[in-house]
Amino acid sequence: KIINFSPGPSKLPEEVVAKVQEELINYQGTGISIMEMSHRSPEFMQIVTNAQKEIQQLLNIPANYSILFMVGGGTGQFAAVPLNLMHSGGKAVYLNTGIWSSKAAKEASKYGHVVEIKPDLETSSEIKWDLDPDVSYFYYCSNETVQGVELPCIPDTHGIPLVADMSSNILTKDFDITKFSLVFAGAQKNIGPAGITLVIIRSDLLGTPSPFCPTILNYTVMAKENSLHNTPACFSLYVMALVFKWITQQGGVKVMEQRSASKSQMIYEVVDNSNGFYSCPVPASVRSRVTIPFRIQQGNEELEKEFVDEAKRLNMIQLKGHRSVGGIRASLYNAVTVEEVAILVNFMKDFMKSKLQ
Ligand code: PLP
């Protein structure tokens, strides 16, 4: 059996895959597949409504928020956020904690003035910034998938609308949605296949998009038309709805959070007790629970390649670190089980032992 540690698109819950297989060519007695069904059909509209209800309950989303399903992935949102929220000739603050927030800031700077701040992750996870009431929003990435940096707390923006890219840690941890004006997440890590993006936006932020905002990225249009202005990514949305239901059946976000804490602790324990054989480049206070990068002998590329190859031979795939940082990365999203992580942990111990003999 393959154990998939991919950073995304990543493993889907086995129960969800089984359900998709069961319904693939005949969705609930309709005689056709979801892939062949009109997005205006009552069956598909029901899927959209169910997905909204399920995520609304999972995250305890109040009625003054709109839940949208959009296309264009996280990268699409890098443009959608400023095009919808940055007032003309406006300004926004971007917290730069790694590759994804940096890409978002670069995209936003096409549309307005971006003030980038870089927190010192080494000394403090507390974010200090000069409060400027003129900024349209404060943006951050709650989990930097490549660097493995996850902020443990929600930044206090003193009333300035807070926007978060939660692509790689949404539904792995309970959080208070009312602290946010907008949250978005590409589905392909924790909530489904690629092609669909979840956007949760406080309704008072709707209604003032830039005149240049493409309709496809326009939150106001999408909210008014219940995400069905045009043809959505039907199949991806259907699978995402199944993933939401699966999380509910497993016990909700709190259970995902407990599992996430256990799984990540298992890996960090081996790293921290390896006498430097393994090392994690991220300061302990901001270590991610979901995307864990580590090095072998401070970056011995030969040994790291051997580790990845040997793991693959044992059916553990996608452990190679991102090309920009190298090393190893274990992505432990919701569908990856504690048992699968235990197999990886045993392999890490065995590998170390064999090299230290
Ligand atoms: N934001 C984060 C945190 C990501 O990890 C990624 C992709 O891995 C993106 C945004 C970009 O998402 P997409 O590939 O859907 O555009």
Does 184 share its domain with 283? Answer: no
Output the pLDDT for position 126. 67
Would the pLDDT of 357 be above 90?
no
Same domain, 111 and 170: yes
Q: Whose CA is nearest to atom 12 of ligand 1?
A: 74
Residue at which a domain ends, from 250, 270, 296: 250
Mean pLDDT of 137-142: 97
Please choose, from the candidates 264, 280, 262, 284, the residue with its C-alpha nearest in 3D space to the C-alpha of residue 327: 280
User: What atom of ligand 1 comes closest to residue 8's alpha carbon?
Assistant: 8
- Same domain, residue pair 203 and 193: yes
Contact between 258 and 113 under an 8 Å Cβ cutoff? The reply is: no
Ligand 1: residues with CB < 6 A are 8, 73-75, 100, 141, 145, 165, 167-168, 186
Instruction: Provide mean pLDDT across the span 62-86.
Output: 98
- Which pTM does this prediction carry? 0.97
Q: Check residue 129 and give its pLDDT.
A: 75
Could you tell me if residue 156 is inside a domain? yes
Give me the pLDDT at residue 59, please: 98
Say whether both 23 and 129 belong to one domain: yes
My answer on whether 128 and 226 are in the same domain is yes
Mutate to test the pocket of ligand 1, among 70, 75, 99, 182 (most ligand atoms within 8 A of CB): 75
Q: CA 112, CA 2: separation in Å to the nearest integer?
A: 46
What CATH number did the domain enclosing 285 receive?
3.90.1150.10
Residues 47 and 154 in one domain: yes
pLDDT given for residue 121 in this prediction? 85
Tell me, yes or no, if 246 is annotated catalytic: no
pLDDT band at 226 (very low <50, low <70, confident <90, very high): very high
The verdict on 310 and 220 lying in the same domain is no
Does residue 4 sit within a domain?
no
- Judge if 104 and 230 occupy the same domain: yes
pLDDT at residue 175 greater than cutoff 90: yes
Question: Is residue 8 in a domain?
Answer: no
Indicate whether 261 and 318 sit together in one domain: yes
214 and 259 inside one domain: no
Q: Contact at 8 Å (CB) between 319 and 307?
A: yes
Q: Is 344 found in the same domain as 213?
A: no
CA of 239 to the centre of ligand 1 (A): 19
pLDDT at 87: 79
Mean pLDDT of 8-14: 97
Contact by Cβ (8 Å): 44, 234: yes
- Is 162 a residue whose pLDDT tops 70? yes
Q: What percent of the chain has pLDDT over 70?
A: 99
**Final residue belonging to a domain, choices 250, 268, 300:** 250
Here the tokens at position 82 are 């400023």
Number of domains the chain contains? 2
Residue 194 inside a domain? The answer is: yes
Query: Average pLDDT, whole number, for the chain?
Result: 96
Nearest-Å Rg of the Cα atoms of the chain is 21
Is 129 designated active site? no
- Mean pLDDT, residues 106-134: 85
Q: Tell me how far apart the alpha carbons of residues 49 and 38 are, in angstroms, rounded to a whole number.
A: 15
Q: Do 176 and 311 belong to one domain?
A: no
Catalytic residue of the set 11, 173, 189, 320: 189
Q: CATH number of the domain at 33, please.
A: 3.40.640.10
- Domain membership flag for residue 7: no
Residue nearest to atom 9 of ligand 1 (CA): 74
pLDDT score of 34: 96
Task: Considering the candidates 100, 173, 245, 320, report the single residue annotated as catalytic.
Answer: 100
Please give the residue range of the domain that contains residue 287.
252-356
Q: How many CB atoms lie within 10 A of CB 81?
A: 27
Last residue of a domain, one of 250, 281, 301: 250
